[in-house]
Amino acid sequence: MSSTLIPLCFVGAAVRTRSAGPADCAMEDHHHHTATIAHTWLAAMAIAVLPILSVLILAATKQMGRTVFAPPKRREPPVAEGAPLLGVLPAILTRSLQGVICDQYLKLGSVFTLSSLGVKVTFLVGPEVSAHFFHAAESEISIGDVYKVTVPIFGKGVGYDVDNDTRNEQHRFFADTLRPAKLRSHARLMVREVEEYFARWGQSGTVDLKQQVEDVLLLIASRCLLGKEVRDHMHDEVSSLLRELIGGLHLVSLFFPYLPTPAHRRRDRARARLEEIFSGIARLRKSSCSSGRGAGDDGDRDHDMLQGLLDSRYRDGRGTTEAEVTGLLVALLFAGHHTSATVTTWTAARLLRHTEWLHAATEEQRLLQRNDQNDAAAIDYDVLLRMDVLHRSVKEALRLHPVTPMILRRARRPFTVRTQDGSEYEVPEGRMLASPLVVNNLLQGIYRDPDVFDPDRFAAWREEDRVGGDLAYTSFGAGKHACMGEGYAYLQIKVILSHLLRNFELRLLSPFPETENMISMRPKGEVMVSYRRRSLLQ
């Protein structure tokens, strides 16, 4: 999943670094002659006593019949200087998290540590220092230690409340429900929901596109993830509960997830009610199957993820419990809805601001309609895969507007990282680690004109992300914990945007939005758009 849990108080303020100045160089010249004589005398003494020292060292290190030599200790990554106790926190409050990270990257290099309130976070900037971060085993670089905060949201027995082996099996359940054969059926259901939702729009009008996108994505989630029962009978209640659940996540939750605040109490009530709803549906489905009744008029039940999770089995043959199914569904919704809504809105805003790309994406839809031999208005799984300009536009929007500022891990064992200039640092056991997307996605050495919205950078003739290596683009994670919902996310985002491009002329009325904050990364405020309906692209 793509997490938005970033402990802001770990990082913060401007730093000061010291380098050698003219005075240092003058002192070195002044003492050169004296130092030469001293060094010669010390060298002679070392030659005389070296045999004796060698015998003493060997005797001292002899233990249990074997000789042990302590390896030279490598230095830890440089630490940014800041205010006493608060460390770099004041700079984040006066500037921004992204600005502070950029400053330290320029001053200290690709590996550095920010400290605040006694907590240290080591940042790894760029692909050349990130291989161990993304590819190491859980026993060395842990994700579970960082995201325990999600346990009150997802529930006991799933996600980061279980051991790594069990969590891997639960990830397999997700992978089974997200394979291409399943995504084909999801595409059909997504298209239906999107068409029905935007049919409510008039011939012209003005809307907050951010809110509209969030609403239609909840409808898609109800149909594809939660099933026909939720979609037809309790969508409004489930949507309200999900908002309460997401609304229960605040900065204080990162450190005190069980503190009895009003928001946490609402979160816990919503979580309990969701489990009651999903458990009831699960029991009804099991009863329906045992009595021989069908799966529904249109077979949607066969394709939703609720049924897939109910049918999943662990390697020892044990089936999933109702509580586990509920927790896994909540994890899918929590990870998928917020992120997809954010990326869809940012992509639309970028296209509407950059009219040359809006025209290119619209022209692509016109050509796809003209080339479709069956139905000029049809959108299905295969057509969605052919939307190259739109796909690259989404990818580029996600590069400029990642759904989380950084990916977090914790070092369970010490490890050595080597920078491009040859420096080596020892990262200690227990250290919090961060891969900052807000900086990695804008590195000059990988992306040409990184601040410019240019979907062509991902075209076959450029592929800037591939040229930079497999860790150059990590907006969906990478390595052992890469987001398995990437295909599903692109699918629903392109279903929404392709429908809007085909059926409406859109214009951005609001100023181009700023980022809400460094936790949510959503567009700030309303994203007001005017629309005018058209029949078909010509």
Query: Do residues 12 and 120 lie in contact, with contact meaning Cβ atoms separated by under 8 Å?
Result: no
- pTM: predicted TM-score of the whole model, two decimal places: 0.81
Binding residue positions: 483
- Enter the tokens of residue 179: 């394979």
Looking at the predicted structure, is the pLDDT value of residue 163 above 80? yes
Looking at the predicted structure, is the pLDDT value of residue 40 above 60? no
Domains of the chain: 125-288+302-533 (1.10.630.10)
Tell me, what's the pLDDT at 118?
84
Read off the pLDDT band of 18 (50, 70, 90): very low
* Tens-digit pLDDT profile for residues 241-287: 888 887 777 767 777 888 899 999 999 999 999 889 888 888 888 77
Residue of higher predicted confidence among 120 and 248? 120
Looking at the predicted structure, is the pLDDT value of residue 313 above 90? yes
Burial class (CB in 10 A: 0-12, 13-18, 19+), 379: buried
Tell me, what's the pLDDT at 34?
39
Average pLDDT over every residue of 104-132: 94
Half-sphere exposure of 141 (CA within 13 A, CB side): 21
Tell me, what's the pLDDT at 68?
41
CA distance 384 to 111: 40
Closest-CA residue to 434 (of 187, 111, 49, 14): 111
Binding residue positions for heme: 483
Tell me, what's the pLDDT at 373?
57
Average pLDDT over every residue of 457-476: 92
* Tens-digit pLDDT profile for residues 382-404: 999 999 999 999 999 999 999 98
Lookup result for tokens 């796809």: 368
Of the candidate ranges 154-163, 202-211, 496-505, the one whose mean pLDDT is the lowest? 154-163
Tell me, what's the pLDDT at 290?
59
CA distance 395 to 397: 6
Over pLDDT 90: what percentage of the chain?
49
Binning the chain into helix, strand and coil, the percentages to the nearest 5 are 55, 10, 35
